[in-house]
Amino acid sequence: MDYESLLVVLMFASFGLLLYTYAGYPAVLWAASKWIRSKERSDVEPAEWPRVSVLVSAYNEETAIGERIANLLSLDYPADRIEILVGSDGSTDRTCEIVRGYEKPGVRLLCFEQRRGKASVLNDLIARARNDIVVLTDANTFFRPDAVRELVKSLLRYSAGSVVVGRLDLTAPSENGNLDGAYWRYETWIKTLESHFGSLLGANGAIYAFHRERYRPLPKEAIVDDFLIPMLMRQDSDARVYFVPEARAWERSPDEVKDEFYRHVRIGAGNFQALRWTWKLLLPWKGTIALAYFSHKVLRWFGPWLMLAGFLTNLQLLHIPVFAVLFLGQVVLYEIAFGALLLHRIPIVGRAASAMRYFLILNIALLVGLGRFVLRVEQPFWSTAPRRI
């Protein structure tokens, strides 16, 4: 194979893998779901609702924690069968003071003076929880009244389900061109397809549940706890993870794109860290979880490199007319993305431009996140973005 042919192969391989991870893989799942029946059992309410512990890890959440606890206290679940346990990770504001104002039977506070990171707080919270079923959530998330009921029903519905993940709806300030909500709807659709096979990848920290006995303590340096917890369970016990859209919660996306960018940088660093601990799930004999992990996660994490490889190989093939047109198309798409703030008021074009901009933000954040992981500069601490509830 000559040099030019090699460039063509590399270019098409790069673009082909990108197309597969974002469009081909969901299409494969959709087609397979039409042929393979789900293992879902009948949906029935238990004669007696089991006891549940709802755990919240918080750091400097004085603007949200009061409303969060009030929201949990208003849940449509038997009050004598639910406890709320809040762990403050070395908060320096009024978080602990506010939580103490709600303390009563069923609401407990663990106010840790030293900041250690969310993974350490979750390990302690789960160790001190009194009930078998654990629900994890965030300080800035709000549950629908029946959210815990739906999570519990789902744990009973799936015989092999070690984790059930609820649906998180994001409200995004469209005036800032923030498409986190739209991207999240796309991800939710893929989660629904993966759940058909019990192969959901990770969770979202806002709303998920599992049996406490199945929990595997997190490494203290873990960054993306909500991804690692289900994946470690899956790796150790081969249990399944399901998506439960009936269990709903909502929260607001960051108002500023820079906050969203930093969040994805951190997630990007955490993803590569998690790969170090969960790579065994990529082994072919792991079945559908290996396919999902490679197709939905690993390929996307290396997406920035695939984009760069496709761009650079295409650049060296400009003397061939068809590839010159392809390169021009890339340049136009990137220019539209960079000009999204100027175009966002134009119907259709504005939304396409915002989508391209968001796609670039995600991939640049992944690239930066990989750099921070390699340099070992990312810490297991969340920096709370400004909250507007």
Instruction: Flag whether pLDDT at 17 surpasses 50.
Output: yes
Instruction: Flag whether pLDDT at 221 surpasses 60.
Output: yes
Instruction: Flag whether pLDDT at 42 surpasses 70.
Output: no
Q: Does 108 fall in a domain?
A: yes
Instruction: Flag whether pLDDT at 389 surpasses 60.
Output: no
In one-letter notation, the amino acid at residue 29 is L
pLDDT in tens, 53-74: 999 999 999 999 999 999 999 9
Total domains in the chain come to 1
Q: What is the CATH classification number for the domain harbouring 86? A: 3.90.550.10
Report pLDDT for 289. 93
| pLDDT-based confidence at residue 216 (cuts at 50, 70, 90) | very high
pLDDT in tens, 331-369: 998 988 888 777 777 777 777 788 888 889 899 999 999
Report d(CA 101, CA 89) in Å as an integer.
18
Around Cβ 357, how many Cβ atoms within 10 Å? 23
Q: Does 263 fall in a domain?
A: yes
Whether this model's pTM surpasses 0.85: yes
Average pLDDT over residues 275-296: 94
Token pair listed for 124: 């302690």
Instruction: Flag whether pLDDT at 184 surpasses 80.
Output: no
Q: Does 179 fall in a domain?
A: yes
Which residue range(s) make up the domain with 259?
52-288
Q: Does 18 fall in a domain?
A: no
Burial of 354 (0-12, 13-18, 19+ CB in 10 A): buried
Q: Does 268 fall in a domain?
A: yes
Q: Does 378 fall in a domain?
A: no
Q: Does 41 fall in a domain?
A: no
| pLDDT-based confidence at residue 177 (cuts at 50, 70, 90) | very low
Q: Does 182 fall in a domain?
A: yes
